[in-house]
Amino acid sequence: MKPTLAIMNRSTVVPDSVFPAVVASNQKQVSGDFAEYYGKDASLVFVAKSEQPPVGSWQLVVSDTVPMAGALGYHDFTKDGNPIGKVGAMTSMKANALWTVSLSHEILEMLADPDIIRAAFVQQTAVRAMIFAYEICDPVEADELAYEIDGVKVSDFVTEQWFEPHRVGVPFSFRKTVQRPMTLAPGGYISVYRVGGGRWQQINARADLHPPGAATEELRNIVYLAHRAEVDDERAIRGRLLPYSKIPNVGSRRERRNRARAEWCVSTEDGGS
Protein backbone atom coordinates (compact mmCIF):
# COMPACT_ATOMS: atom_id res chain seq x y z
CA MET A 1 0.00 0.00 0.00
CA LYS A 2 1.54 3.31 -1.04
CA PRO A 3 1.73 6.01 1.64
CA THR A 4 0.02 9.39 1.57
CA LEU A 5 2.60 12.18 1.77
CA ALA A 6 1.18 15.51 2.95
CA ILE A 7 3.08 18.54 1.60
CA MET A 8 2.38 21.23 4.21
CA ASN A 9 3.00 24.93 3.71
CA ARG A 10 3.99 26.63 6.95
CA SER A 11 6.28 29.29 5.47
CA THR A 12 5.84 33.05 5.27
CA VAL A 13 7.75 33.45 1.98
CA VAL A 14 5.88 31.01 -0.29
CA PRO A 15 2.12 31.50 -0.81
CA ASP A 16 -0.32 28.60 -0.88
CA SER A 17 -1.16 29.41 -4.51
CA VAL A 18 2.27 28.19 -5.65
CA PHE A 19 1.95 24.72 -4.18
CA PRO A 20 -0.64 22.90 -6.35
CA ALA A 21 1.64 23.10 -9.41
CA VAL A 22 4.73 22.18 -7.37
CA VAL A 23 2.99 19.17 -5.80
CA ALA A 24 1.67 18.04 -9.20
CA SER A 25 5.19 18.11 -10.67
CA ASN A 26 6.60 16.17 -7.74
CA GLN A 27 3.81 13.62 -8.10
CA LYS A 28 4.87 13.07 -11.71
CA GLN A 29 8.48 12.63 -10.63
CA VAL A 30 7.60 10.17 -7.85
CA SER A 31 5.14 8.05 -9.87
CA GLY A 32 7.20 8.19 -13.05
CA ASP A 33 10.95 8.78 -12.80
CA PHE A 34 11.52 7.59 -9.22
CA ALA A 35 9.14 4.61 -9.35
CA GLU A 36 10.83 3.37 -12.52
CA TYR A 37 14.09 2.83 -10.64
CA TYR A 38 12.94 2.15 -7.08
CA GLY A 39 9.57 0.46 -7.52
CA LYS A 40 7.96 2.72 -4.90
CA ASP A 41 5.16 5.25 -5.18
CA ALA A 42 3.23 7.65 -2.97
CA SER A 43 0.15 9.86 -3.13
CA LEU A 44 1.15 13.49 -2.64
CA VAL A 45 -1.48 15.88 -1.27
CA PHE A 46 -1.17 19.60 -0.56
CA VAL A 47 -2.10 20.87 2.90
CA ALA A 48 -2.61 24.65 3.11
CA LYS A 49 -1.71 26.72 6.17
CA SER A 50 -5.28 26.58 7.49
CA GLU A 51 -5.58 22.80 7.08
CA GLN A 52 -4.39 19.69 8.91
CA PRO A 53 -2.72 16.67 7.28
CA PRO A 54 -4.67 13.42 6.78
CA VAL A 55 -4.52 11.09 9.76
CA GLY A 56 -1.64 8.64 9.48
CA SER A 57 -0.01 10.46 6.59
CA TRP A 58 3.68 11.08 6.15
CA GLN A 59 4.50 14.77 6.26
CA LEU A 60 6.83 17.17 4.49
CA VAL A 61 6.73 20.64 6.02
CA VAL A 62 7.89 23.71 4.11
CA SER A 63 8.76 26.35 6.71
CA ASP A 64 11.00 29.42 6.65
CA THR A 65 13.96 27.68 8.32
CA VAL A 66 14.89 24.25 9.62
CA PRO A 67 16.38 23.50 13.06
CA MET A 68 19.58 22.01 11.67
CA ALA A 69 22.66 24.16 11.09
CA GLY A 70 23.88 24.31 7.51
CA ALA A 71 20.97 22.28 6.12
CA LEU A 72 18.33 23.32 3.58
CA GLY A 73 16.20 20.33 4.57
CA TYR A 74 16.24 16.97 6.32
CA HIS A 75 13.96 14.05 7.16
CA ASP A 76 13.19 12.40 10.49
CA PHE A 77 10.19 10.92 12.36
CA THR A 78 7.08 12.29 14.05
CA LYS A 79 6.26 11.39 17.64
CA ASP A 80 3.95 8.71 16.18
CA GLY A 81 6.82 7.13 14.26
CA ASN A 82 5.79 8.32 10.79
CA PRO A 83 8.36 9.80 8.42
CA ILE A 84 8.54 13.59 8.31
CA GLY A 85 10.68 15.92 6.23
CA LYS A 86 11.35 19.63 6.62
CA VAL A 87 12.50 22.19 4.06
CA GLY A 88 13.55 25.76 4.80
CA ALA A 89 12.23 27.97 2.00
CA MET A 90 13.79 31.16 3.34
CA THR A 91 17.01 29.34 4.16
CA SER A 92 17.17 28.05 0.59
CA MET A 93 16.56 31.49 -0.85
CA LYS A 94 19.30 33.05 1.29
CA ALA A 95 21.67 30.34 0.06
CA ASN A 96 20.73 31.12 -3.57
CA ALA A 97 19.21 27.64 -3.78
CA LEU A 98 15.84 26.57 -5.18
CA TRP A 99 13.44 25.50 -2.45
CA THR A 100 11.56 23.31 -4.95
CA VAL A 101 14.74 21.29 -5.53
CA SER A 102 15.19 20.94 -1.76
CA LEU A 103 11.56 19.78 -1.54
CA SER A 104 12.01 17.16 -4.26
CA HIS A 105 15.28 16.07 -2.62
CA GLU A 106 13.61 15.34 0.71
CA ILE A 107 10.56 13.66 -0.85
CA LEU A 108 12.70 11.20 -2.80
CA GLU A 109 15.02 10.42 0.12
CA MET A 110 12.06 9.84 2.45
CA LEU A 111 10.57 7.36 -0.02
CA ALA A 112 13.87 5.59 -0.71
CA ASP A 113 14.69 5.12 2.98
CA PRO A 114 11.70 6.08 5.16
CA ASP A 115 13.16 4.43 8.28
CA ILE A 116 16.61 6.02 7.76
CA ILE A 117 18.30 2.65 8.20
CA ARG A 118 19.49 1.71 4.70
CA ALA A 119 23.20 1.83 3.99
CA ALA A 120 25.74 0.31 1.63
CA PHE A 121 28.60 -1.70 3.13
CA VAL A 122 31.83 -1.73 1.12
CA GLN A 123 34.69 -4.03 2.16
CA GLN A 124 37.94 -2.28 1.26
CA THR A 125 40.54 -4.65 2.68
CA ALA A 126 40.65 -7.57 5.11
CA VAL A 127 40.41 -5.15 8.03
CA ARG A 128 38.86 -2.00 6.58
CA ALA A 129 35.34 -1.21 5.46
CA MET A 130 33.08 1.76 4.86
CA ILE A 131 29.35 2.32 5.29
CA PHE A 132 27.62 4.73 2.89
CA ALA A 133 24.42 6.47 3.97
CA TYR A 134 21.50 5.73 1.64
CA GLU A 135 20.88 9.35 0.69
CA ILE A 136 19.97 9.19 -2.98
CA CYS A 137 20.00 12.89 -3.86
CA ASP A 138 23.16 13.99 -2.04
CA PRO A 139 25.69 12.83 -4.68
CA VAL A 140 23.90 14.85 -7.41
CA GLU A 141 22.19 17.50 -5.33
CA ALA A 142 23.38 20.74 -6.99
CA ASP A 143 20.64 22.95 -8.43
CA GLU A 144 22.55 22.98 -11.73
CA LEU A 145 21.85 19.25 -12.05
CA ALA A 146 18.11 19.60 -11.40
CA TYR A 147 15.57 19.18 -14.19
CA GLU A 148 12.14 20.56 -14.97
CA ILE A 149 8.75 18.90 -14.88
CA ASP A 150 6.00 21.21 -16.12
CA GLY A 151 8.13 24.26 -15.32
CA VAL A 152 9.05 23.16 -11.76
CA LYS A 153 12.66 22.31 -10.94
CA VAL A 154 13.11 18.93 -9.19
CA SER A 155 16.19 17.14 -7.92
CA ASP A 156 18.25 14.58 -9.77
CA PHE A 157 18.81 11.31 -7.86
CA VAL A 158 21.14 8.31 -8.03
CA THR A 159 19.91 4.80 -8.73
CA GLU A 160 20.34 1.80 -6.44
CA GLN A 161 23.20 0.65 -8.67
CA TRP A 162 25.18 3.73 -7.57
CA PHE A 163 25.69 1.97 -4.22
CA GLU A 164 27.16 -1.17 -5.86
CA PRO A 165 30.89 -0.47 -6.39
CA HIS A 166 31.51 -3.05 -9.13
CA ARG A 167 28.51 -2.23 -11.33
CA VAL A 168 29.11 -1.22 -14.95
CA GLY A 169 26.97 -0.38 -17.95
CA VAL A 170 23.85 0.80 -16.09
CA PRO A 171 22.45 4.27 -15.25
CA PHE A 172 23.91 5.58 -11.98
CA SER A 173 21.70 8.65 -11.78
CA PHE A 174 18.44 9.57 -13.44
CA ARG A 175 20.01 12.31 -15.54
CA LYS A 176 23.24 10.33 -16.01
CA THR A 177 25.26 13.07 -14.35
CA VAL A 178 27.63 10.46 -12.88
CA GLN A 179 29.12 7.63 -14.92
CA ARG A 180 30.45 5.31 -12.20
CA PRO A 181 29.13 3.94 -8.90
CA MET A 182 29.95 5.88 -5.76
CA THR A 183 31.15 8.98 -7.59
CA LEU A 184 30.07 12.55 -6.95
CA ALA A 185 28.81 15.12 -9.42
CA PRO A 186 30.02 18.71 -8.97
CA GLY A 187 28.31 20.08 -5.88
CA GLY A 188 27.48 16.60 -4.59
CA TYR A 189 28.48 14.92 -1.36
CA ILE A 190 27.98 11.70 0.60
CA SER A 191 28.11 10.68 4.27
CA VAL A 192 30.35 7.75 5.13
CA TYR A 193 31.35 5.86 8.26
CA ARG A 194 34.63 4.04 8.75
CA VAL A 195 34.03 0.63 10.31
CA GLY A 196 36.35 -0.19 13.20
CA GLY A 197 36.60 3.30 14.59
CA GLY A 198 35.77 6.83 13.65
CA ARG A 199 32.54 8.67 13.03
CA TRP A 200 30.22 9.74 10.24
CA GLN A 201 31.93 12.21 7.93
CA GLN A 202 30.93 14.03 4.76
CA ILE A 203 32.91 13.78 1.55
CA ASN A 204 32.39 16.61 -0.94
CA ALA A 205 32.98 16.67 -4.68
CA ARG A 206 35.89 18.76 -5.85
CA ALA A 207 35.03 21.76 -8.01
CA ASP A 208 37.88 21.14 -10.49
CA LEU A 209 36.92 17.65 -11.60
CA HIS A 210 36.86 16.88 -15.32
CA PRO A 211 34.79 15.36 -16.71
CA PRO A 212 31.83 16.05 -14.40
CA GLY A 213 31.01 12.94 -12.38
CA ALA A 214 34.61 11.75 -12.10
CA ALA A 215 35.43 10.25 -8.72
CA THR A 216 37.28 12.42 -6.23
CA GLU A 217 40.60 10.94 -5.18
CA GLU A 218 39.29 10.81 -1.61
CA LEU A 219 36.22 8.82 -2.59
CA ARG A 220 38.18 6.68 -5.03
CA ASN A 221 40.59 5.73 -2.25
CA ILE A 222 37.73 4.92 0.07
CA VAL A 223 35.94 2.65 -2.38
CA TYR A 224 38.54 1.20 -4.69
CA LEU A 225 42.19 1.62 -3.80
CA ALA A 226 42.59 1.81 0.00
CA HIS A 227 45.26 3.87 1.68
CA ARG A 228 48.86 2.65 2.01
CA ALA A 229 48.43 1.83 5.69
CA GLU A 230 45.32 -0.22 4.91
CA VAL A 231 47.16 -2.17 2.22
CA ASP A 232 50.00 -2.83 4.66
CA ASP A 233 47.47 -3.99 7.27
CA GLU A 234 45.94 -6.40 4.78
CA ARG A 235 49.32 -7.78 3.70
CA ALA A 236 50.33 -8.32 7.30
CA ILE A 237 47.14 -10.25 7.99
CA ARG A 238 47.38 -12.29 4.81
CA GLY A 239 50.95 -13.17 5.77
CA ARG A 240 49.57 -14.80 8.91
CA LEU A 241 46.78 -16.70 7.19
CA LEU A 242 47.12 -20.48 6.91
CA PRO A 243 46.02 -22.57 3.93
CA TYR A 244 42.97 -24.69 4.72
CA SER A 245 45.02 -27.92 4.88
CA LYS A 246 47.16 -26.52 7.68
CA ILE A 247 44.41 -25.12 9.89
CA PRO A 248 44.50 -27.05 13.19
CA ASN A 249 41.47 -29.12 14.11
CA VAL A 250 39.03 -27.43 16.46
CA GLY A 251 39.72 -28.59 20.00
CA SER A 252 43.27 -29.74 19.30
CA ARG A 253 46.09 -28.50 21.51
CA ARG A 254 47.58 -26.43 18.67
CA GLU A 255 44.21 -24.84 17.93
CA ARG A 256 43.69 -23.99 21.60
CA ARG A 257 47.14 -22.42 21.86
CA ASN A 258 46.29 -20.16 18.93
CA ARG A 259 43.30 -18.68 20.69
CA ALA A 260 43.62 -15.22 22.25
CA ARG A 261 43.00 -15.18 26.00
CA ALA A 262 39.79 -13.20 25.44
CA GLU A 263 38.46 -16.22 23.51
CA TRP A 264 39.15 -18.76 26.28
CA CYS A 265 36.20 -20.39 28.07
CA VAL A 266 36.08 -21.49 31.69
CA SER A 267 36.21 -25.28 31.93
CA THR A 268 33.07 -27.08 33.10
CA GLU A 269 34.91 -30.32 33.84
CA ASP A 270 34.99 -31.57 37.45
CA GLY A 271 38.40 -31.80 39.12
CA GLY A 272 39.86 -35.25 39.85
CA SER A 273 39.78 -36.58 43.40
DSSP 6: E
pLDDT, residue 62, reads 96
- The percent of residues above 90 in pLDDT, for the chain, comes to 49
Residue 193 pairs in a beta bridge with 131, 200
Contacts of 126 (CB under 8 A, 6+ apart): 233, 234, 237, 238
- The percent of residues above 70 in pLDDT, for the chain, comes to 72
pLDDT, residue 225, reads 34
Confidence (pTM)? 0.77
| pLDDT top residue among 247 and 50 | 50
CB 149 within 8 A of CB 25: yes
pLDDT, residue 33, reads 98
Name the H helices within 71-211.
Answer: 89-94, 99-112
State how far the Cα of 19 lies from the Cα of 97, in Å rounded to an integer. Answer: 18
State how far the Cα of 62 lies from the Cα of 74, in Å rounded to an integer. Answer: 11
User: Strand pairing of 4-9 and 58-63?
Assistant: parallel
pLDDT, residue 251, reads 54
| pLDDT top residue among 161 and 216 | 161
pLDDT digits (tens, 9 = 90+) for 216-263: 555 554 554 333 334 444 454 445 455 655 565 665 545 555 555 555
CA 86 to the chain's CA centroid: 17
CB 4 within 8 A of CB 82: no
pLDDT at 273 over 70: no
pLDDT at 21 over 50: yes
pLDDT, residue 145, reads 95
CB 68 within 8 A of CB 87: no
pLDDT at 199 over 60: yes
Question: Average pLDDT over the chain, rounded to whole?
Answer: 81
- Domain borders along the chain are 4-112, 119-228
Residue 204 pairs in a beta bridge with 189
pLDDT, residue 89, reads 94
| pLDDT top residue among 159 and 200 | 159
